[in-house]
Amino acid sequence: MISLAIDGALFNYRVAGVAIVDGKVLLHKTPADKFWSLPGGRASLFEFSKDTLIREMQEETGMDVEVGEMLWVSENFFVYNDIKHHELGFYYKMDIQDLKDQSDFIGVEGDGELLFKWHSVIEISQIKVYPEFLASELTQNPLRVKQFASGFIDLDKA
């Protein structure tokens, strides 16, 4: 996975998917996190970003997805688990093949769990979602293609 420790900090190359069905967007978080994010994960070396999203969704949820157009590129600086992060994120439209329902479910992240939940797009501002630009961008109809950059935020204190 493309995650490099540099001078006590961490660089991550992350790919995430935006699945909106019936006015709800799929988000996930670890049980310990105080915020939600879009599902996805770190790219592997020599892996196309769309392939990263397909692989991560299969590994974490067992779901097959179709990756659509790129929506956003995001550069984020944040502190998470007391470590400074520099994250480059690619965000794509994503369709989940053969979606049965929109019930909450548990996925896997290595040896841990991920909580998956469908959140109402119109109520997204009522929860903590990261990166912060998602709270406003997910409410746009149609979704807009943009680039974002954010300075440091401490997710451990969010």
pLDDT digits (tens, 9 = 90+) for 117-144: 999 999 999 999 999 999 999 999 899 8
**pTM for this predicted structure:** 0.91
Distance between CA atoms of 34 and 129, rounded to whole angstroms?
9
Q: Is 46 helix (H, G, I), strand (E, B) or coil?
A: coil
Q: What is the pLDDT of residue 113?
A: 96
How far is residue 58 from each of residues 18, 38, 107, measured CA to CA in Å?
A: 15, 15, 10
Distance between CA atoms of 41 and 55, rounded to whole angstroms?
9
* Residue partners of 34: CB distance under 8 A and separation at least 6: 128, 155, 158
Residues 31-53: what's their mean pLDDT?
Answer: 96
- Looking at every residue in the chain, the average pLDDT score rounds to 94
Residues 107-113: what's their mean pLDDT?
Answer: 92
Does residue 156 carry a pLDDT above 90? no
